[in-house]
Structure 1
Amino acid sequence: MSSSQDIVLLLTHSGDYFTVDKVAQALSKRGASPFRLDTDLFPLEVQLSARLSNSGLKHQIRYGDRSISTEQVKAVWMRRLWEPKMNPQMEPHLQSGSIRESRAALDGFLDSLHKLRWVDALPRIREAENKLLQLRIAAEVGLTIPQTLVTNDPTEARQFFQELEGSMAAKLLTPLSYSMGKSSLFMYTSAVQEQDLAEAETLRYCPMVFQEKIPKLCELRVIYVAGELFVGALEASRYDGKTLDWRNISPEDCPWESHQITEEIFGQLNSLMTRLGLTYGAIDLIQKPNGEYIFLEVNPTGEWGMLERDLNLPISDAIAKALLN
């Protein structure tokens, strides 16, 4: 248990709900004091002050009716960092400058907490988000990965399509949406048709990921928290043929179900997360009709609320325990 004076900083944004509330409740039950920081409201509604001298430094943040200093913080949950909201009446050049300076000030505040317990530290998250790194390490620890091509060469994409006999999917290496809504560049994982390759010349402007389409019995979202795994499954027959990406279906059409993975896969995923240096990760797998598991990717800050909501999995408590460990 923690001291009632221990503050755990929850980095998120003002549009976030459920998951951040559940973790805050779990921390309170364990005797800690959660402090929610909606990063999109800095600087308009959040005040930050930093005092530095040769004798040390002290940061203070005020948000609403609460104020904390860096000395009070025990741990940090990196849920989300968000684009600062600015007054739309500001001139564009002043707005961009204010956003840049606000980011720099917030980065300085977060750096002052670098010695604390993070789930997970920003440099570790940014490194682990590299999808090619994930696939390489996954193969090294024994997980099966899809045949994959990352290219901006239209000829290579067409050749790969032929090698896979047309059974190919496309997705992005990174999310291109950083605002509250999806950007025009946001895309779900989608099947590639032969006619799509007629426009493959646009790859010269932006490389993409191409993978073999894996036959599915179910898709799995596996939540890893400090060596514990929480697993939810979606039965592919409920949506296969309509979409390749479960994020594009409604929970009513395809509810989450409980699933038990094998001890071998458990060990391999644990090795993967240890190699990536992550305390938390949302892992996507496919189980083929023959029972084989295929690793797709890890999202170091991926969603898990639907699994706690629908399957009553105690993920928020596991995160709270990891923060206070």
Structure 2
Amino acid sequence: MPSPHVLVLTYDLKDDAHAARVCELLSERGARVTVFSPEHFQSTSRVDLRYVDGAVRRRLHTNGEILDLDALTALWWRRPTPIVPDPALTDEAIARYTVKECHSLLAGLWEHLRCPQLPARESTFRRAGHKPYQLALAAELGFRIPETVITTSEEAFLDFHDRHDGRIVTKPLDIPWVEGVGGGITVSRACEPVTARDLAHTDALRFCPVIVQEQIPKRVELRVTVVGRQIFAAEIHSQVSNRARLDWRRYDTHVTPHRIHRLPDEVAARCLALTDRLGLRYGAMDLIVTPDGRYVFLEINPNGQWLWIEHLTGLPISEAVRDILLEGA
């Protein structure tokens, strides 16, 4: 029987500790692992699809290898970098056009492979990442969610602010950073309280949507990682750190305790139901446990990080990712 062959779409393993850890575990099980990122596709790789007598054959030529993509046992959408134009393309319009065409080729190629994919096929996990869709579906499944408005309206924002006596937070709808600000600076933005200065600029909402939510009191925050049918829940005691109090992603792990958490059965069932409805085989959820013990859903990331949780709690998440990638074999 041939060895399992897993294709991992990510950038260099030296810069992706999550992929490096899982690839190591896969290799220990005898799997063949190929890492590929489309960034330099034009310069270093080739693809050919052949349609003969009703059959399709797909080949990827990269790093001196010829990969039979129809023989893959799993594809892992980790964190591939976008295609950049080959330096030989000096006309910017032509360069942009060819990159779009190459992206279309690869997107269609991955979408129609027969092997299982993690977290899902691209069209599925892109849709699953839409926060308005997540919130509506979570509420439908019985999760408590914060009262929320997603708006480009100054009037709607101010009405929400007044109804909650200013105890509200804002979040980006999709992209948590802006590149090239002020001549090259990258500005990141997480969950932020609304300040008096923000209120002076609410007319700018017409340019860009924002998520606005009531500020939920926290006992602890949870990172709930779902891998297939397994659930790994970790408490993040963010309230002991001034830096991480509002958003634990301002990582303060030296001060913030992390512990294994036992989810109530009904909450665990909702977590599995949510990934099922989203079509995901992997998902990293953020929840709040309030001081009175209520579980409040915030969001799910179809490709969220987990390694720091594993290191701090011992939860075997990497092994679970390895195992689900081997299921296709």
Normalising to structure 1: TM-score of the pair? 0.90
Query: Does the Cα contact within 8 Å between 2:111 and 2:121 map onto a contact in 1?
Result: no
Distance 2:192 2:87 in 1: 35
Q: Structure 1 pair 290/123, CA: closer, same or farther in 2 (3 Å)? A: same
Q: Which residue of 2 aligns with 1:26?
A: 25
Comparing 279-288 with 81-90, which one deviates more in the overlay?
Answer: 81-90
Q: Structure 1 pair 178/68, CA: closer, same or farther in 2 (3 Å)? A: farther
In structure 2, give the amino acid aligned to 1:294.
Answer: V
Q: Which residue of 1 aligns with 2:270?
A: 268
Q: Which residue of 2 aligns with 1:146?
A: 146
In structure 1, give the amino acid aligned to 2:23.
Answer: A
Which structure 2 segments of 5+ residues have no match? none
Displacement after TM superposition at 1:91 (Å): 3.6
Partner SS, residue 201 of structure 2: helix
In structure 1, give the amino acid aligned to 2:144.
Answer: T
Displacement after TM superposition at 1:314 (Å): 1.5
Q: Which residue of 2 aligns with 1:108?
A: 108
Q: Which residue of 1 aligns with 2:225?
A: 223
Displacement after TM superposition at 1:201 (Å): 0.8
- Residues 281-313 of structure 1: per-residue CA shift (max 9 Å, x gap): 000011112222110001111111211233222
Q: Which residue of 1 aligns with 2:215?
A: 213
Comparing 21-30 with 67-76, which one deviates more in the overlay?
Answer: 21-30
Partner SS, residue 73 of structure 2: strand
Displacement after TM superposition at 1:55 (Å): 4.1
Comparing 134-143 with 85-94, which one deviates more in the overlay?
Answer: 85-94
Distance 1:132 1:295 in 2: 13
Query: Does the Cα contact within 8 Å between 1:143 and 1:295 map onto a contact in 2?
Result: yes
Displacement after TM superposition at 1:207 (Å): 1.2
Query: Does the Cα contact within 8 Å between 1:4 and 1:32 map onto a contact in 2?
Result: no
Query: Does the Cα contact within 8 Å between 1:190 and 1:243 map onto a contact in 2?
Result: no
Q: Which residue of 2 aligns with 1:313?
A: 315
Query: Does the Cα contact within 8 Å between 2:178 and 2:187 map onto a contact in 1?
Result: no
Q: Which residue of 1 aligns with 2:63?
A: 64
Alignment of 1:132-211 (within 5 A): 132-175=132-175, 184=186, 186-211=188-213
Partner SS, residue 319 of structure 1: helix
Normalising to structure 2: TM-score of the pair? 0.89
Q: Structure 1 pair 104/176, CA: closer, same or farther in 2 (3 Å)? A: farther
Q: Which residue of 1 aligns with 2:10?
A: 12
Comparing 221-230 with 47-56, which one deviates more in the overlay?
Answer: 47-56
Which structure 1 segments of 5+ residues have no match? none
Comparing 86-95 with 221-230, which one deviates more in the overlay?
Answer: 86-95
Distance 1:292 1:197 in 2: 31
Query: Does the Cα contact within 8 Å between 1:14 and 1:41 map onto a contact in 2?
Result: no
Q: Which residue of 1 aligns with 2:50?
A: 51
Q: Which residue of 2 aligns with 1:38?
A: 37
Partner SS, residue 41 of structure 1: helix
Distance 1:243 1:183 in 2: 26
In structure 2, give the amino acid aligned to 1:289.
Answer: P
Partner SS, residue 44 of structure 1: helix
In structure 1, give the amino acid aligned to 2:129.
Answer: E
Displacement after TM superposition at 1:185 (Å): 6.3
Displacement after TM superposition at 1:9 (Å): 1.1
Identical columns (%): 29
Distance 1:239 1:176 in 2: 22
Query: Does the Cα contact within 8 Å between 1:59 and 1:112 map onto a contact in 2?
Result: no
Q: Structure 1 pair 191/67, CA: closer, same or farther in 2 (3 Å)? A: same
Displacement after TM superposition at 1:262 (Å): 1.8
Partner SS, residue 249 of structure 2: helix
In structure 2, give the amino acid aligned to 1:69.
Answer: D
Displacement after TM superposition at 1:154 (Å): 0.2
Query: Does the Cα contact within 8 Å between 1:51 and 1:59 map onto a contact in 2?
Result: yes
Over aligned residues, Cα RMSD in angstroms?
2.4
